[in-house]
Each structure stands twice: as structure tokens, then as C-alpha cells.
Amino acid sequence: MAFLSSLCALLAVCATVTANNARSADLIRLLGPQGVNLVRLDSLATPRPFLKDSSEFGVQEVLSKGDGKRTYDFRAEWFQQPLDHFDDNSSHVWHQRFWVNSKYYKPGTNAPVIVIDGGETSGEDRLPFLDTGIAAILARATGGIGVVLEHRYYGESIPVSNFSTDSLRWLNNAQSAADSVNFMRNVKFDGIRENITAPGTPWIYYGGSYAGARAAHMRILYPDIVYGAIASSAVTHATLQAWEYMTVIRDAADPKCSSRIVSSIASIDAILERGYFKKQLKGLFGLAGLEHDEDFVSLLESPLGYWQAKCWDPEFGSTKFDDFCGTLSRPFSRVMAAADIESLPFEDEKRMVTFEDGFTVDVAVVNYAQWIKKNVVSRCKSTVEDCFGTFDEEKYHVTDLKQDWRLWLFQVCTEWGYFTTPPPDQKEPSLISRLINLGYESKICKQAFPPGKYFKVPGLPNITAVNELGDFAIAADRLAFIDGDVDPWRPYTPHSDYAEDRDDTILRPFKLIPGGVHHYDEWGYKKHPRGA
């Protein structure tokens, strides 16, 4: 088709237009039950849940109408879907939200429809990609139409009255894929007279991260409907323990910063293991009242996820990871010189800070504690055990529609996994505490989702449901993969070191962005620097 050469040529351009859209779901994915606590704190503290540099690490700005920044003229439209695509006896229907950009559309040319999968967040968060990002770039190049399709259960595409275990049983890969194919086969766009449904019109499916895996899966599952797909940072390999995530950050970050974090965590683990000065250590972080050591060390992971919030465009990116690194190297007092702090080895006597009762730690631990107190603990308006404790399961039993943290967690617990743990090799340097293990990270699944009348969450996620669709080796003609080489999610994509290498061809593009983090290609300039 005429548009295909333009599309394939454009992929090389897209690979250099680096960007990042890390979502709040990653907070839960990386910190498990502690992530749920932080999401709940944010929901209580502010009515603006997706703001740049919010405490939900990795979150990008919505930039939708009413936030005082960029606004969009896209009007929400609705498409009727069945709740259960695979039960002919079910008559329950709901409405899926979508938005259309037809400004570049050239009727009568059989130009493509580029659909962006909304993934595990509100579809409103994808509007930048419809306005100036990847959907607009491809639509402009091909004379096509851009669409954002909101994922079932997210945003306002909610098919149920609550988020109980039973009500969430239709939130899975198969039902979501069936939503998309039903939409492509039958949708009618306001203001467009000709039939643009698939397969008569070529549809290009785009997604990033979880949605990137869905884009790849759509090309495999429905090759007659999905003409082509672009899978950005596509996590096509599901796993129970995602320990490689932190090793990517450890190896890609400034070596001095990585060393300080690794040494600080090792020192903290040693103090907790010995038991002496445990209370003083937690008090230093403002967490003296936090009962369980696992909850304490889990909270210390919170600044690390800012790595994936890096973006080539400063309007959307976060500098908080680098700011955190800078914090670790600050002198504790006027007696300490910044140059000495940098040059001296960890726990050199000149770097040590002594408190009451002889409690002594390296200055990096003190600075780490100050960052946690300022950026995390300060948001707690009750006791630290109430805010950051994770062993009282009653706090996770509320199931009304305001508890949208339950959505991605349910998908993690049933099919996707990615529980963050330290490296299995005990000798390998770790950015996170050795007290963190799969049992601690996954216990939230039993706590939040007790067995229902019709559905029971498995003991561990059924990751086979994801991996049987292709895993690392997933491939097809007109299926493009784009990844960043320092994306902490790369170990779970076809660009993983565990995957077989493959050629980058026009028919099967396989792009790796140097210095790129999480789906860098999704963003675009509001005004292209070349005036295009």
C-alpha cells in the first residue's frame, strides 16, 4: 500500500524522537503493597493525580483541559461493547471512550487509522500523543486518522459498579483484545462518511509498555484486522520476579550515585539485621513508628523509579532521579567539604555522622533519610504505621470506583507479575534491600482480592497467558519494536539480553534508541524544530 513506505521510513525518525511516559501503575508494580499505600496517599492529598514530578514516580503530566497548561479540542466519543465477548448468554454492555484526530485525514486514499492503546491509565493521559506525538506524526505522514482508545475499566470506560474481585474478573488480556478488534471492525467516526473499519482500511496499532505488549499481541492474534503494529517498550515477557529492573538503573546511572545507593542500602540492611540502633535508624527517616522492617526498606525504593520518568523533552520529563543523586552527596555540616564527600570512600571516618547513643552512619544514609522525610513521609497526616504499614489487610478491602489502584494491581496479580526483588545472586550489588522478597511483594494480591463468589485470584499470576503469545521471540511482518537501551523495562522486551538478536528490516523494524528510557518515541514536538 502507498502509505506503507512512508510509515516504515518514518520509523527511523520515530526512533530518534525519544520520549517517556511512565505511569502511576509502575508505582504499584515496583513497590507492591507499599506502592498501593503511596497511591492512596496521593489520592487523599491532591485532586490532581497525574502531575509532573508528583510523588507517584514516573508519572507524566496529563496536560488536559483545566490544568492551566496545554489544552486539547478532541471530543470524547463512545463505542458500545459487551462486557463478556466470550459468553453468548451475557447481555451486559458498556461504553468505551475514544478520541479522534482527523485533521490530517485525506478521504478516498485508503490511508491508515493509527490507534493508540490507552493501556493501564485514563485515555486522557494519551491525548498528547494524539495531538503532537506518535499518532499525529504518523497521521500527518500518511494522510490518516489518529485515535486514542481507552482500555476497559480505566478512565471513564468502566463496565461495572465496583472494583471487587468478582467485578474485576473481566479485566484480562483476552477481553481487552476482543474490545479492540470489535472496535476496529465496527466503529463509525463522527464527521467521516466513508467506511474506515478493518480490514477494509488498514489499521496500525500502537502502544507503549503494557500497551506495547498489547500492540504486539493484537498483530499476532488478529492479523487479518491489525494491518501493522508498533510496539514500544513492549513487555512481551511476563515474569514473577522483575529483579533486572533495578540492575538496569544501577548500571546506567552515574557510577558514584549507584555506588552510594548500593552502599547505603547494604549499611541499612546490616543495621536491621544486627538489631542494634534499629529504632534510631528508622527515626532518622521519620519512620520510628513503622513496625515491620520490610515496610521500612520498601519505602526506600520510592526515589529509584524516577529513572524511567526521564524524557528527551523537558516539558514532560522529570529530573528527580538526578536531584536525588545530588542529595546523597551533600555535606552534612560546614565541617564537611563537598569535594571530600565525593572523593572519600563510603564509611570513611570523615564521612561518618554520629547521633545520640553512639548511632553512627555515613553521610549518604543521612541524606537519603532527609530525602525520604521531605518527599515521602511529610505526606503522611496520621501515624506512619497507618500510612506506610502493609500488614493490615483491612485497609485494602474498599472496592468502590474511587479505588482505581485496584485495576492494574489486579492485572499484576492475575496475569502479568513483575514483582520487584533484589538480584538472586547474593554477591551482586543491589539498589534495594535484601529483605524484599517475592512473598512480601505479592502478599498484596491476597490482601486486596479475597476470593469472590465467581472468581478467585491465583496464588501467583498466570504469566503463561502472556508468554504463550510469543514471549521474547514474538515477531510478524509489519510488527515494529522500539526500545530504549537504558529502559529498566528492556529486560522484559524483545530487546532483552535474554532474547535472541534479530535484524532490523523494513518489514520487521527492530529499533534500539541509544540513551533512551521508556517508550521515548511516543512524544513529539508541539512545533517541529524543522518546521515540518
Task: Measure the CA angle with vertex 145, ends 140 and 151; round to 5°.
Answer: 125
Q: What are the two backbone dihedrals, phi and then psi, of residue 86, each rounded to the nearest 5 degrees?
A: -115, 10
Q: What are the two backbone dihedrals, phi and then psi, of residue 116, each rounded to the nearest 5 degrees?
A: -95, 120
| Residue 212 DSSP code | H
Which three cell numbers mark 397? Answer: 478491602
Rounded Cα gap, residues 18 and 313, in angstroms: 8
Classify 80 as helix, strand or coil.
Answer: strand
Which three cell numbers mark 178? Answer: 476482543
Which one of the listed residues 263, 487, 496, 521 is annotated catalytic?
A: 487
| Residue 74 DSSP code | P
Q: Exposed/middle/buried for 278, CB within 10 Å: 0-12, 13-18, 19+?
A: middle
Q: Would residue 369 be called left, alpha or beta, if left means φ above 0 and alpha means ψ between -120 and 50 degrees? A: alpha
Which one of the listed residues 102, 164, 209, 430 is annotated catalytic?
A: 209
**For residue 432, how many C-alpha atoms fall within 13 Å in the half-sphere facing its CB?**
32
Is the CB of residue 474 less than 8 Å from the CB of residue 220?
Answer: yes
Residue 340 is a catalytic residue: no
Q: Exposed/middle/buried for 89, CB within 10 Å: 0-12, 13-18, 19+?
A: exposed
Which three cell numbers mark 505? Answer: 528490516
| Number of residues in the chain | 532
Classify 98 as helix, strand or coil.
Answer: strand
Rounded Cα gap, residues 448 and 431, in angstroms: 27
Rounded Cα gap, residues 60 and 316, in angstroms: 6
Residue 487 is a catalytic residue: yes
Q: Exposed/middle/buried for 53, CB within 10 Å: 0-12, 13-18, 19+?
A: middle
Q: Exposed/middle/buried for 506, CB within 10 Å: 0-12, 13-18, 19+?
A: middle
- Provide Rg for the chain, Cα atoms: 24
| Residue 304 DSSP code | G
Q: Are strands 228-232 and 145-149 parallel, antiparallel or unpaired?
A: unpaired
- Active-site positions read 209, 487
